[in-house]
Amino acid sequence: MLSIKLDRLGDICGGRGKETADRVIQAAAERLVGCVRAQDCVSHAGGGHFRVLLCPLGTAELAASLADKVCHVLRLPFTIAHQRLAVSASVGIGLWSQDGGTAEAVIAQADACMRRATNPGDGYRFDDAGLTASLTRLNGLTDDPRIALERGEFELHYQPRVALPDDRVVSAEALIRWPHPLHGNIPPSAFIPVAESTGFIHELGAWILERACSQAATWQAQCGTAIPVSVNVSGRQLEHPGFPELVRRTLERTGLAPNRLELEITESTLMHRPADVTEALERIRFLGVRTSLDDFGTGYSSLAYLHRFPLDTLKIDRTFINDVLSPEYSGVLLRSIVDLAHALGLLVVVEGVETPKQRGIVEAQGGDEMQGFLFSPAVPPGEFERRFLAPAALERVAHAYPG
Ligand code: C2E
Ligand code: CA
Ligand code: CA
């Protein structure tokens, strides 16, 4: 549970009256909804005091990561009636204790921590000082990704996708990395949602697309191999009417053939605004670019809907081969999805393959390709080139992706 209070709302809106305060609260609510997960519940208790219930209940790290995002997005100025207003927030975190406890106790704990975050814009507070200290590393989030892009701090690493049964590298997924000069590696799951909620994802996403396409074009020119590259695209990018044109121009500028690019969208993006996203995907496919549904099985989508969407590839989330499931059960589940996906003409990739046993399940159940730490994590482009674009691999890639 997060308890969030907009600091000094009365002072800031002072002379401008209640209407301005209400508009700030409304704008803050929109930012909050944009930065928590779809399933979390945001409520307004009055006077700029919000509470966020994490559903399902998360770990301390998750709560801290969300609290950090909340602090960050509320620190950005609000523009109300042509005026820029700087509002920060105090955030407290309440956690369910292992030995039970009531909802009221958790709310009281979160509210008390929020009140103790006395300095405006101070960040978030747990009840437990040790826990707070161990999580201070996450404060890297308060650094602005915009500035990181200007400073050239972002990098793209590439994870190979390999075809079964013979482990041929057939494409590369671009995954963003932020090796922060002070805080070490900040995971994309920490800053991509911030970039989405502030709108910066358009700029960052354009940079990612350009960098990945130009890398694939360079590999083709230098190594003679036309290795396809996949790029993750956020829902906010797809919803922008200019996105398909951005893709077309990027391909033109970098000289990458459209069928060497695949764009990955997550299942939750697709289900969130199916009509808009479908139209964007159709325009993208019209260019000759491939489309892929990522994290399949983690959201609400159902196999029954798959045929409605213009897709080429289905990427099955790693939970389906998780060791929590028995191998037999994983096998049955996977087989049904693979069969249906194949019937719909989709290529099936299974993500997160970490062990030979999991690889065996994927192969036995007819998965076309796999991706995961068993074969390789995402590596810098130079390493990718050395390890996977050796002359012997080139022929096989060309064979796997004719045209
Ligand atoms: P994703 O697209 O599902 O990417 C796969 C994630 O799983 C990556 O984490 C990858 O490093 C990790 N992974 C790969 N193989 C294994 C494995 O065998 N076991 C386990 N446990 N994990 C594995 P990463 O790089 O931290 O990315 C996390 C998510 O952040 C991505 O999930 C994607 O949704 C997002 N993301 C990453 N790069 C970008 C980007 O350039 N643009 C956008 N919009 N999102 C990105
Ligand atoms: Ca992906
Ligand atoms: Ca995935």
pLDDT tens digits for range 43-97: 999 889 999 988 766 677 778 888 888 888 888 888 887 777 888 788 888 877 6
Ion ligand 2 nearby residues (CB, 5 A): 232, 264, 294
pLDDT in tens, 281-298: 999 999 999 999 999 987
Check if 362 has its Cβ closer than 6 Å to any atom of ligand 1.
Answer: no
The residue whose CA has the least distance to atom 37 of ligand 1 is: 175
Other beta carbons within 10 Å of 376: 17
pLDDT in tens, 311-327: 999 999 998 888 667 77
CA-to-CA separations, 225 to 263, 399, 400, 402, in angstroms, rounded: 20, 11, 12, 12
Asked if pLDDT for residue 203 goes beyond 60, the answer is yes
Q: In this structure, which ligand is nearest to the CA of 209?
A: 1
Peptide bond between residue 56 and the one before it cis (omega within 30 degrees of 0): yes
Question: Which ligand has its closest atom nearest to the C-alpha of 378?
Answer: 1
Question: pLDDT digit string (tens) for 97-114?
Answer: 655 567 787 788 888 878
> Is residue 208 within 6 Å of ligand 1 at its C-beta?
yes
Question: Mean of the pLDDT values across residues 259-274?
Answer: 89
Which tokens belong to 6? 């907009």
**Protein residue with least CA distance to atom 3, ligand 1:** 295
Q: Whose CA is nearest to atom 15 of ligand 1?
A: 372
Its pTM stands at 0.70
Q: In angstroms, rounded to a whole number, what is the distance separating the alpha carbons of residues 304 and 204?
A: 34
- Which pLDDT score is estimated for 402? 44
298 touches ligand 1 (CB under 6 Å): no
Going from the Cα of 172 to the center of ligand 3, the distance in angstroms, rounded, reads 13
Atom of ligand 1 nearest to the CA of 156: 41
Residue of 155, 159, 161, 175 to mutate, ligand 1, most atoms within 8 A of C-beta: 175
152-162 pLDDT tens trace: 999 999 999 99
In this prediction, residue 141 has a pLDDT band, given cuts at 50, 70 and 90, of very low
Distance 2 CA to ligand 2 centre (A): 29
Examine residue 402 and say whether the peptide bond preceding it is cis (omega within 30 degrees of 0). Answer: no
Cα–chain-centroid distance for residue 324?
Answer: 24
Question: What confidence score (pLDDT) does residue 9 get?
Answer: 79
Nearest residue CA, atom 14 of ligand 1?
Answer: 372
* Ligand 1 contacts CB of residue 232 (under 6 A): yes
**Ligand 1 in contact with 188 (CB < 6 A)?**
yes
Ligand 3 centroid–CA 193 distance in Å is 15
Q: Does the beta carbon of 101 sit less than 6 angstroms from any atom of ligand 1? A: no
pLDDT at site 383: 95
- Nearest to residue 192, comparing CAs of 182, 205, 206, 181? 205
Nearest ligand by distance to the CA of 188: 1
Q: Residues 209-221: what's their mean pLDDT?
A: 96
Residue owning the nearest CA to atom 20 of ligand 1: 352
